[in-house]
Amino acid sequence: MTVVEPDRRERNGAMEVTDFALAQKITPAVIVDRPRALGRIALIDRIFHHLTRTAAIIVLIILGGVIVSLFRGALPAIKTFGFGFFTSQAWNPVNDNFGALPAMYGTIVTSIIAMLIAVPVGLGVATFLTELCPHPLRRPIGVAIELLAGIPSIIYGIWGLFVFAPFVQVHVQPALIAGFAGVPVLSNLFAGPPYGIGVLTASFILAIMVLPFIASISRDVFETVPTVLKEAATGIGCTTWEMMRHVVLPYSRVGVVGGVMLALGRALGETMAVTFVIGNAHKVSPSLLAPGTTISATIANEFTEAVGDIYTSALIELGLILFLITFMVLAMARYMLMRLERTSA
Amino acid sequence: MSLYETRRKNNAIATGLAWLATAFGLFWLALILGALVYEGARGLSPAVFSQMTPPPGSQGGLSNAIAGSLLMSAIGVAIGTPLGMLAGTYLAEYGRHTKLAMIVRFINDILLSAPSIVIGLFVYEILVHPMGHFSAISGAVALSLLVVPVVLRTTEDMLLLVPGSMREAAAALGAPRALVIGKIAYRAAKAGLITGILLAVARVSGETAPLLFTALNNQFWSANLNAPMASLPVVIFQFALSPYKDWQQLAWTGALLITVAVLSLSIVARTLGAGRRKSR
């Protein structure tokens, strides 16, 4: 390769100076013309800059596209049912009468019960991992929990259907029904025949599914607490519990709440873990043992079989509602986690 | 009881509960994996990989579903990765502190956990409905929309781990921005970037909801991207809810295959990522 004079002068000794014009494999004729070579590099730089910027903007467009296209798809149902869609319990494909109440109720109730189970347990696991676990076990258990957070939800669903629901039907639900028979409020919550599948079973499987998620996020959040603070607490004689309660939790409160909301967002939108075991009944039932449905389960079960514009449109409106609910929950979660990052940085 | 004793007792209760919570969580997760291995391994045979999904009551395998899953995941990753990487590059390099980057970061984090079934509905609206029929390509597009947030996030994180002094050194040699990114930042973050792609593959290969009404299902072997295509998760969904014993067995076996694939992908990704973190 012919190298022009100025470059050769720099190449004395063992140190080799990389010439970026050369690294571009630009022909010698162009190297002589340095301004043009630089111009070309600047052009490449500008193109790359715009390319990455466009890609970033496309991500925004995707989100906008999701909202707009769902709204367009839902428009016939919105026009037909109006606000009554949110309060109606009807779900009748034959005469095209639909209401979102049972699905929304099921989505919210299953998610709340799941969080009631998963949040305390998840925080317990996180406490265990950061404070109590013997050191050699800390990494393996932490890794195991993170791996479990990645298992596809259909696995939880199939296990729920074939293993958990039959077990619950025979061993747990009869005991619940008998145990709470005389108690005023609870007897209504645990009433009816033991189907095995139903709202409570679905909630429990949802809880197991989001548990690794909550545990690993809370552990990460707990680990942002400066060791000095914890040592100070131990130094003045706090027990482990008092340190968690009065130092770690207050310090990481925003992050824990953010993590919990993130998990709630997952639970609200979860499809496969729930669809198998919820029972797909379009009614609001006071009993937690009764079959119900959720927004995602309704869409998963009925969308491909939906005939007629209104039916499809009603399902898309359900999807829009789900998206807006999870969007708000997730936005709040991210905002809180961002605030934590800013304070800990 | 003295204050000291009460505090000791409260501490014992609280730590005991934390131990219990961990045991409780690990118990259920072990139970699920145990059942999965036990039920799934019973149906493992060469026929699973060589034969197509059977009609009820006859012998068969999952070959068309496995191939469909591989094909659609591959196309989904091929579409989603460049987009996610370029956008992640913008967030970490060109526009690190710009308003646009902040908004995109926020929106991307939301898309990362958005319900995948909604993504399925979206692709149905923009592709399946106008085309008039279900197709493998729309399934792949739905998967690619799930790939983008994962790749974007890890690309940005990994590029931010590259020391600024390396970029400055390259810039001091006269390298323009694009070269600094391409020849220095990407190379230094290579293991991390591959981790991101592997995580995205792991995420996508188990997704059922976005495929239900985009790629639908196909009982037969098909390589036609313009026609419905089988995929493991959708076949599992259909077979598990069927009343036929041999279909249910295939569903368990398919579930085992997916779990093994996803777990090994995330372990490989994790090992790569751990190497990166150590070398920092």
pLDDT of residue A12: 45
Residue A188: Cβ within 10 Å count = 14
Å between A45 CA and nearest CA of chain B: 5
Residues of chain A in contact with residue B202, where contact means CB-CB under 8 angstroms, are 150
Out of A146, A155, A239, closest to residue B255 by CB? A155
- Kindly state whether A276 is in contact with chain B, defined as any CB-CB distance less than 8 angstroms: yes
- The residue count of chain A comes to 345
What is d(CA B233, CA A86) in angstroms, rounded to the nearest whole number?
32
Structural domains of chain A ordered from first start: 6-77 (no CATH), 99-344 (1.10.3720.10)
Smallest CA–CA distance from B90 into chain A, residue: A52
In this predicted model, what pLDDT tens digit does every residue of B104-133 receive, in sequence order? Answer: 999 998 898 889 999 999 999 999 989 888
Instruction: Please tell me the predicted confidence (pLDDT) of residue A335.
Output: 86
Residue with token string 């939790």: A249
Q: How far is B46 from chain A (nearest CA, A)?
A: 22
Q: How far is CA B80 from the centre of its chain?
A: 12
CA B219 and chain centroid, separation:
25
User: Is a pLDDT exceeding 90 seen at residue B143?
Assistant: yes
Integer angstrom CA distances of residue A149 from A57, A212, A217: 30, 5, 10
A319 and chain B: CB distance < 8 Å anywhere? yes
Share of chain A above pLDDT 90, in %: 45
pTM summary value? 0.87
Q: How many CB atoms lie within 10 A of CB B172?
A: 8
Q: In this complex, do B148 and A124 lie within 8 Å of one another by their Cβ atoms? A: no
Kindly report the average pLDDT of chain B as a whole number: 89
* B230 DSSP assignment: -
User: Pairing state of beta strands A97-98 and A91-92?
Assistant: antiparallel
What's the confidence (pLDDT) of residue A29?
54
For residue A78, what are its two tokens?
A: 């919105």
Chain B interface includes A40 (CB < 8 A): no
Extract the tokens encoding B141: 């597009």
pLDDT for A6 equals 46
Task: Quote the ipTM score.
Answer: 0.89
Question: From CA A286, how far away is CA B14, in angstroms rounded?
Answer: 34
Which pLDDT tens digit goes with each residue over A51-78?
999 999 999 999 999 999 999 999 999 9
For A123, nearest residue in chain B (alpha carbons): B18
The CA distances from residue A54 to A64, A262, B84, B95, B195, in Å, are 15, 28, 11, 12, 24
Contact A276, B241 (CB under 8 A): yes
In whole angstroms, how far apart are CA B148 and each of A26, A60, A210, B23?
Answer: 34, 12, 22, 36
- Judge whether A303 is closer than 8 Å to chain B, CB to CB: yes
Cβ pair B103:A60 closer than 8 A:
yes
Cβ of B252 within 8 Å of Cβ of A158? The answer is yes
Q: What rounded mean pLDDT belongs to chain A?
A: 86
pLDDT digits (tens, 9 = 90+) for A238-284: 999 999 999 999 988 888 988 899 899 999 999 988 999 998 888 88
pLDDT at residue A133 greater than cutoff 50? yes
Nearest to residue A156, comparing CAs of A213, A219, A116, A101?
A: A213
Whether residues B21 and A63 touch (CB distance < 8 A) is answered with no
User: H/E/C letters for each residue in chain A?
Assistant: CCCCHHHHHHCCCCCCCCCHHHHCCCCHHHHHCHHHHHHHHHHHHHHHHHHHHHHHHHHHHHHHHHHHHHHHHHHHHHHHHHHHHHCCCCEECCCCEECCHHHHHHHHHHHHHHHHHHHHHHHHHHHHHHHHCCHHHHHHHHHHHHHHCCCCHHHHHHHHHHHHHHHHHHHHHHHHHHHCCCCCCHHHHCCCCCCCCCHHHHHHHHHHHHHHHHHHHHHHHHCCCCHHHHHHHHHCCCCHHHHHHHHHHHHHHHHHHHHHHHHHHHHHHCCHHHHCCCECCCCCCCCCCCCECCHHHHHHHHHHHCCCHHHHHHHHHHHHHHHHHHHHHHHHHHHHHHHHHHHHC
Residue B88 has pLDDT above 70, yes or no: yes
pLDDT of residue A11: 45
Beta carbons of A241 and B11 less than 8 angstroms apart: yes
To the nearest 10°, the Cα dihedral for B69, B71, B76, B79?
180
pLDDT tens-digit series, residues B47-74:
888 888 888 878 888 999 999 999 999 9
Angle at CA A88, nearest 5°, toward A84 and A93?
A: 105
Residues of chain A neighbouring B173 (CB-CB closer than 8 A): 17-18, 20
**What separation in angstroms does the CA of A134 have from each of A69, A141, A188, A260, B232?**
52, 10, 45, 26, 40
Set of chain A residues whose Cβ sits within 8 Å of the Cβ of B84: 55
Of B262, B200, B274, B208, the C-alpha closest to B235 is B208
**CA atoms in the 13 A half-sphere facing the CB of A35:** 0
Which residues of chain A have a CB within 8 Å of the CB of B199? 150
Residue A21 has a pLDDT of 58
- Decide if B114 and A323 are in contact by the 8 Å CB cutoff: yes
